[in-house]
Amino acid sequence: MIEKVLFNREEVEQIKALAKNFYQAEVYDSGTVHVNTNIRNSLKYLFKDNSVFKELIVPKLIDLGVKDIGHESMLLKYYKGHYFTRHSDRHSNLGNRQKTLVIQLSDKDEYEGGLLKVGAKASSKDLGNVILFDAASLHEVTKITSGIRWCFLAFLEKSDLISKQTLY
């Protein structure tokens, strides 16, 4: 897992302003997509046009090895009582997810609970923090006990990543 604060409050607010209508987030299970609040309870806004944020977000990710954000990105909101149980983002029926990218859009004092845990390690709740990890890693968001947690989420495929050239 890589973490680095890359976005300031103004940039975070610009990202949050891109969301329109949130709806109950779904889970993927055995090739089907459905709502199951026993596994995942959060709200989601799925971007249909990624060009609206690429100029703001992608240039800051180059040093982390990210050159693009593919077709699967969203904003998530977690209210009191919301959570997402331990899971992996890499599934054979969901394309070629290589990395999971999360941008923390709420500051640590704006909510309680809601830790993003990748394996046994909790990520920083600092505003603007970028978390990048292997999509196969088990991770979870613990239950929100107060406030609202916002985050940007994108699933990156191989074509979104800067390939490392090896010299022989």
- DSSP for 117-152 reads EETTEEPP--TTEEEEEETTS-EEEPPEEEE-EEEE
Contact present, 99 and 68 (Cβ < 8 Å): no
Which is more confident, 52 or 129? 129
pLDDT at 153 over 70: yes
The answer on pLDDT for 19 being more than 60 is yes
Q: What is the pTM of this model?
A: 0.91
How far is 49 from 71, CA to CA, in rounded Å? Answer: 8
Residue 122's pLDDT is what?
96
Q: Is the pLDDT of residue 100 over 70?
A: yes
Half-sphere exposure of 50 (CA within 13 A, CB side): 16
pLDDT for 22-42, tens place per residue?
Answer: 998 988 776 778 888 888 899
How many whole angstroms separate alpha carbon 97 and alpha carbon 159?
Answer: 10
